[in-house]
A and B are shown apart, each in its own frame.
Chain A
Amino acid sequence: MDRCFLELRIDGEEAYQTFQRVIENVNVIMATYEDPQLGDVQVYPDKGTVAFSAGLHGWAFTLTNFAKMYASRFKVDESKMMERLWGENFFDTATRKWTTKNTGSATCKRGFVQFCYEPIKQIINICMNDQKDKLWAMLGKLKITMKSHEKELMGKALMKRVMQTWLPASDALLEMMIFHLPSPSKAQKYRVDNLYEGPLDDVYANAIRNCDPEGPLMLYVSKMIPASDKGRFFAFGRVFSGKVSTGLKVRIMGPNYVPGEKGDFVKSVQRTVIWMGKKQETVEDVPCGNTVAMVGLDQSISKTATLTNEKEVDAHPIRAMKFSVSPVVRVAVQCKVASDLPKLVEGLKRLAKSDPMVVCYMDESGEHIVSGAGELHLEICLKDLQEDFMGGAEIIKSDPVVPFRETVLERSCRTVMSKSPNKHNRLYMEARPLEEGLSEAIDEGRIGPSDDPKVRSKTLADEFGWDKDLAKKIWCFGPETTGPNMLVDMCKGVQYLNEIKDDVVTGFQVASEEGALADENMRGICFELCDVVLHADAIHRGGGQIIATARRVLYASQLTAKPRLVEPVYLVEIQAPEQALGGIYNALNQRRGHVFEEMQRPGTPLYNIKAYLPVIESFGFSSTLRAATSGQAFPQCVFDHWDMMPSDPLVPGSQAAGYVANIRKRKGLKEQMTPLSEYEDRL
């Protein structure tokens, strides 16, 4: 709001219109998240669910503030006053009458403008002009007292202080929380359906539903907050049921915990703390409905976790938070001094803990990789890593690297064959691209290895036009048994095929993780095992013979099916005034980006632009964009989808071939791709 008064200096009516539109926009977005259990999630200023704020200056108000003030003056109900302060309600100071239409007279103004906007504007103006006599008089009327040293302030600082005293943001926010957010005991009644992974009628679900302080402990840790002593973290979360107390032994379930299996830890809570702003207060215990920070669990929680009582081993975890962004940009880090390696390792562990998004791991060549959502995110992470988690030890980071995927464009041009090392076994295979949308379906988990085969074959047949019998013959998914590639058995009447299935699957898992082009994961390839010839003697068709052969034949079929690289693509949103559009288009075009939506925001000279931009081209994009538009445009990038690169990586000199060569070099592979003849054998 501060911009309305200080920079834009728009008048009340115009400001009202702008606010109205913003609120409408918000409501449109909110409508997409509507959930009957949540009830009405739309916001209305006249119900006090909208706060008008100047975040920079730290003040805010809801209409309730003003309604209270004026209700006594007009001798009307507060709620009645609230209604008058928003919408089509006008007040004429000359006639002192409310109307629902603008009468056209100069003194007739909208309620909001008359009673909220104008007074604020007036005070701000007085402050900015340092008309202190007038100011004290007005403040006196508003019953605002300033401290004596604050009275010395001038101009903007004075205005800030006055506004903060008059309309403190914290009050407005807290008021909204108190009046409009449901209490945990109310909210958990419906939230339990979304929160709890286990059966909704077990004792834990009921405890959450009733927010039962006597029930079993259910606590969700959502964040690890770095503590003041280096290297330690508070586990911060909400108690959904039961009570957590100092010294309690809790069972910790990580985000990927599968009930009934190993992977949970038992730790005792050393201290329970309530965070109060910047301060912390140690308390004996914290019952349900509250947030809590715990000391002593940080070594067992990586990012988020569900805590229960030690003995309650049958409790299921609370659903993990999902992020709408995924880590697609990574850098390799190493320490400048080799002996700092333990520090780096320790630092990476802590980084992985403190940021729920970032992923730290090690790649095949032994490089430590930090993977984040974007360039900026990584920059912040690495800064934290170096300064907070490694005590300032110097690190070297590589240029950002983008993961690619390997796919195929069409069906293999012929059935390829590979022989086992002893030449007694032959595998015949073809590769083809998966149907459009199928990879995404596997990504989302709609189709996966643990589905009921009947359901899976029905989905595949109905949505993707698979043959029903074929759908039953999926041997596995990969990589990691869940990835978006498949191995399908198309053989007819082959003896001993069941014996080599496991070995072929093992080979497939390896091959789909490291494709033939650049050792990147495969994506969207369906491999069809067409025929096999096996040695009659079991000892000659063991794993040693089959696994490596399966891998070779998979590579051969990939290479004969027009292999392509797949790259990650950002969805970029840019808001900019019209005159900056030319620069934006230029900047995008230079980087293989393309705009697919351009919309003027109604009532503003601003345009909303949505574009796709390959992640690999996005490094330094925001600064290019700033330069091209003289600072008028800022991009917001979110990973959106995988996109196939049209150029053929097998043709030397093509762009894809260049990427492949780069990746291979980075990974320390031979720069030349292994030729097809290495994988395919002839009869």
Chain B
Amino acid sequence: MDLELNFEISRTAEFILSRGFSRVALQFPDDLLKHSTKVVTCLRNKLGSGNKVGLFVMADTTFGSCCVDEVGASHINADCVIHYGHTCLSPTSTLPAFCVFGKASISVSRCIEKLSSYVGTNGKPIVVLYGLEYAHAISQIKGALVEAMPNAEVELIFSDVMCSIINPLEDHGKSDGLVGCLAAATGTRYSLGGLTWDLPEGRRMENYLLLWIGPENSAFSNVVLTFNGSEIVRYDATEDRLVTDVSQQKRILKRRYYLVERAKDANMVGILVGTLGVAGYLHMIHQMKELIMLAGKKAYTLVMGRPNPAKLANFPECDVFIYVSCAQTALLDSKEFLAPVITPFEAMLAFSSGSQWTGTYVMEFRDLINSSQLEVRKRPEEARFSFLKGGYVEDFEPQENEGEDNDRALALANATEKALQLRDRGPDSLVKGIAKSGAEFFVTRSYHGLETHANSSMPEPYLIGRSGKASGYEDERSEPETL
């Protein structure tokens, strides 16, 4: 393999030298780790021996390997990160990053052959999106495809890679939504997962045929979910075939919809911190907490690296988890999970009363921050219909803070009244109540930790404890070497 080309050594070196970085972290995903030493050697040669640039290899990132691991980089006080392999191009918060996408092999001629034959049969205008690893070949494909097109009437839009250099965002509040649309003078600009493209005015994504060049990965499902109204065709470069059936991906959307309904019935919500790098994650977590509190539910924030079923099962009290992470790792769905794991967008749907799914889907939470401010909501008139139970349920009331000050005294009384509800169930009954907080959940469990033997009221005789050190107590002196 041509290392030089594939890992864009010269561009990287140029990037480092031009900005004068002295400590550089190279972040490798697991599958590229085997090349790391060669890359470092190459890069050092390129940088020149006289240069005192520190190169550090980072592996096994805490969260998804598509995001820039800023925390890891700051351990070595790096001033920039070179990220290799698949990336989501999420903006960083403190460090500049340079992304090397890698170059996957693709046969341009065969790709063109397949695409043009399909495009010929379909009269719709086309938007071409692709996996970033194919970015190197896109200009060739574009040229060839335009040439191969029998009739020039079909509108063809190619997306561009935004930029392989990520600069930290100073103020994410001002950033104008990397996903979503910018009303430019010429039309609407869309961007998603590092790709940008413009649509002429008055056209919507639903009118277009989406062509995706690349494998079926998280980036692709991201596209399918976001543009679920469009027709999507995928060209698989490794298998050299067109996949027109994306029903499996559409199924995901329905499944997500179900998870939202599940979340509506939840009483306790765990917020999983899935990133420490993506800009605005803290803001998002705070917003989620506020949202959950307003919905009258209890929120717990958990940091556990990459979630897996065994880790999440340690928190059986949580009915649903919100995974705050970059767009491409956010979709976690496995039947192994006891409680559903949803994205912040889905949480917004579930927990803001009265909001309804209209078909749009937002994956990247930076966009959520911009789009939705938490408006003051009044209590909904209607009891909520739970589609899981098939009936109406009343949600736990949010802590009423709209009450006037003179209600304070009453509020306490009311709260105690609620707490002192008659529980006629004996301790032996096997029914579990519906807990509203972690403490309540714990009470309903049969095992509470240390057993207190309440039935023996006699005081225990006192015993003289051991004295000495744990390595050898005084009464153990006689037999020190029994281990």
Do B316 and A506 touch across chains, with their CB atoms under 8 A apart? Answer: yes
Contacts of B387 in A (CB 8 A): 345, 348, 360-362, 368
Q: A449 within 8 Å of B by Cβ?
A: yes
Q: B392 within 8 Å of A by Cβ?
A: yes
| CB contact between A449 and one of B309, B381, B392, B429 (< 8 Å): that residue | B429
Q: How far is the CA of A352 from the CA of B228 in the complex (A)?
A: 29
| CB contact between B390 and one of A260, A264, A360, A366 (< 8 Å): that residue | A360
Do B388 and A361 touch across chains, with their CB atoms under 8 A apart? Answer: yes
Do B314 and A338 touch across chains, with their CB atoms under 8 A apart? Answer: no
Contacts A359-B390, A503-B316 hold; do A364 and B431 have CB atoms under 8 A apart? Answer: no
Task: Quote the shortest CB–CB distance from B147 to chain A (angstroms).
Answer: 36
Do A421 and B310 touch across chains, with their CB atoms under 8 A apart? Answer: yes
Contacts A362-B387, A543-B316, A547-B313 hold; do A498 and B229 have CB atoms under 8 A apart? Answer: no
Contacts of B229 in A (CB 8 A): 338
Which of B9-17, B30-38, B254-262, B473-481 contacts the other chain? B254-262
Q: How far is the CA of A301 from the CA of B445 in the complex (A)?
A: 33
Q: A502 within 8 Å of B by Cβ?
A: yes
Contacts of A300 in B (CB 8 A): 382-383, 392
Which of A430-438, A475-483, A558-566, A585-593 contacts the other chain? A475-483
Q: Using a CB-CB cutoff of 8 Å, which residues 352-408 of chain B contact chain A?
A: 356-359, 381-383, 385, 387-394, 396
In the complex formed, the residue of A with least CB distance to B391 is: A302
Which of B91-99, B114-122, B274-282, B419-427 contacts the other chain? B419-427
Interface centre among B311, B313, B429 (most CB of A within 10 A): B313
Do B310 and A261 touch across chains, with their CB atoms under 8 A apart? Answer: no
Task: Quote the shortest CB–CB distance from B251 to chain A (angstroms).
Answer: 6
Q: How far is the CA of A131 from the CA of B14 in the complex (A)?
A: 114
Q: How far is the CA of A499 from the CA of B446 in the complex (A)?
A: 8
Contacts of A546 in B (CB 8 A): 313
Task: Quote the shortest CB–CB distance from A513 to chain B (angstroms).
Answer: 12
Do B255 and A366 touch across chains, with their CB atoms under 8 A apart? Answer: yes
Do B388 and A543 touch across chains, with their CB atoms under 8 A apart? Answer: no
Q: A548 within 8 Å of B by Cβ?
A: yes
In the complex formed, the residue of A with least CB distance to B311 is: A544
Q: B239 within 8 Å of A by Cβ?
A: no
Do A260 and B422 touch across chains, with their CB atoms under 8 A apart? Answer: yes
Do B428 and A453 touch across chains, with their CB atoms under 8 A apart? Answer: yes
Q: B336 within 8 Å of A by Cβ?
A: yes
In the complex formed, the residue of A with least CB distance to B335 is: A514
Contacts A368-B387, A544-B310, A545-B310 hold; do A263 and B429 have CB atoms under 8 A apart? Answer: no
Contacts of B391 in A (CB 8 A): 254, 256, 302-303, 352
Task: Quote the shortest CB–CB distance from A476 to chain B (angstroms).
Answer: 5
Do A475 and B430 touch across chains, with their CB atoms under 8 A apart? Answer: yes
Q: How far is the CA of A178 from the CA of B49 in the complex (A)?
A: 110
Q: Using a CB-CB cutoff of 8 Å, which residues 353-368 of chain A contact chain B?
A: 359-368
In the complex formed, the residue of A with least CB distance to B444 is: A502
Do B390 and A450 touch across chains, with their CB atoms under 8 A apart? Answer: no
In the complex formed, the residue of A with least CB distance to B387 is: A362
Contacts of A140 in B (CB 8 A): none
Do B430 and A265 touch across chains, with their CB atoms under 8 A apart? Answer: no
Q: Using a CB-CB cutoff of 8 Å, which residues 240-277 of chain A contact chain B?
A: 254, 256, 260-265
Contacts of A301 in B (CB 8 A): 392
Task: Quote the shortest CB–CB distance from B390 to chain A (angstroms).
Answer: 4
Task: Quote the shortest CB–CB distance from A524 to chain B (angstroms).
Answer: 18
Q: B110 within 8 Å of A by Cβ?
A: no
Do B390 and A544 touch across chains, with their CB atoms under 8 A apart? Answer: no
Do A477 and B430 touch across chains, with their CB atoms under 8 A apart? Answer: yes
Contacts of A261 in B (CB 8 A): 421
Do A363 and B258 touch across chains, with their CB atoms under 8 A apart? Answer: yes
Task: Quote the shortest CB–CB distance from B77 to chain A (angstroms).
Answer: 34
Task: Quote the shortest CB–CB distance from B12 to chain A (angstroms).
Answer: 40
Task: Quote the shortest CB–CB distance from A449 to chain B (angstroms).
Answer: 4
Contacts A502-B447, A547-B313 hold; do A299 and B381 have CB atoms under 8 A apart? Answer: yes
Task: Quote the shortest CB–CB distance from B58 to chain A (angstroms).
Answer: 27
Q: B47 within 8 Å of A by Cβ?
A: no
Do B430 and A481 touch across chains, with their CB atoms under 8 A apart? Answer: yes
Do A450 and B425 touch across chains, with their CB atoms under 8 A apart? Answer: yes
Contacts of B313 in A (CB 8 A): 503, 543-548
In the complex formed, the residue of A with least CB distance to B445 is: A502
Contacts of B228 in A (CB 8 A): 338
Do A302 and B392 touch across chains, with their CB atoms under 8 A apart? Answer: yes
Query: Which 9 residue pairs spanning A and B have beta carbons closest together?
Result: A366-B254, A449-B430, A366-B258, A361-B390, A544-B314, A362-B387, A299-B382, A544-B310, A544-B313
Which residues of A does B touch, CB under 8 Å? 254, 256, 260-265, 299-303, 338-339, 341-342, 345, 348-349, 352, 359-368, 371, 421, 449-453, 474-477, 481-482, 498-499, 501-503, 506, 510, 514, 542-548, 668
- Taking A302-B391, A342-B356, A481-B430 as given, write out 13 further A-B residue pairs in contact, using a Cβ cutoff of 8 Å, ordered by the A residue number: A254-B392, A262-B396, A341-B356, A345-B387, A362-B261, A365-B251, A450-B429, A481-B432, A498-B447, A503-B313, A506-B316, A544-B311, A546-B313
